[in-house]
């Protein structure tokens, strides 16, 4: 019985997080990859090695993001998700 309750709670938490994510970027905000300081990311990384904010291991990792005002990402030296994925793929092909 406890296992079912634990699973239900985990599922509810995951669904709540998934539904809240679009709201966090409403109102002129966007994800900006490659600008997070160590421990300064806003949520999960593209590599899937963590799923929480504040867990970036290196500064300016292309797989980590921060939510910024829409239109400011390039000015901050960051990039969108598609470019981040291209950078990650190029790094993987090197070594």
Please report the DSSP string for 11-28 in residue order.
HHHHHHHHHHHHHHTTTT
Record the pTM: 0.71
Does 67 reside within a domain? yes
In angstroms, the CA 67 to CA 69 distance is 7
Domain total for the chain?
1
The tens place of each residue's pLDDT in the chain, 95 residues long, gives 455 544 444 444 444 444 444 445 568 999 999 999 999 999 999 999 999 999 999 999 999 999 999 999 999 999 999 999 999 999 999 87
Does 74 reside within a domain? yes
Does 9 reside within a domain? no
Does 85 reside within a domain? yes
Does 6 reside within a domain? no
Does 7 reside within a domain? no
Does 37 reside within a domain? yes
**Residue numbers of the domain that contains 50:** 28-94
């Amino acid at each position: 019985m406890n296992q079912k309750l634990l699973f239900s709670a985990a599922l509810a938490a995951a669904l709540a997080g998934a539904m809240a994510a679009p709201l966090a970027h409403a109102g002129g905000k966007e994800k900006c990859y490659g600008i997070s300081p160590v421990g300064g990311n806003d949520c999960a990384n593209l590599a899937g090695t963590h799923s929480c904010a504040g867990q970036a291991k290196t500064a300016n990792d292309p797989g980590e993001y921060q939510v910024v005002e829409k239109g400011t990402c390039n000015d901050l030296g960051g990039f969108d998700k598609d470019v981040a994925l291209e950078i990650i793929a190029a790094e993987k092909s090197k070594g």
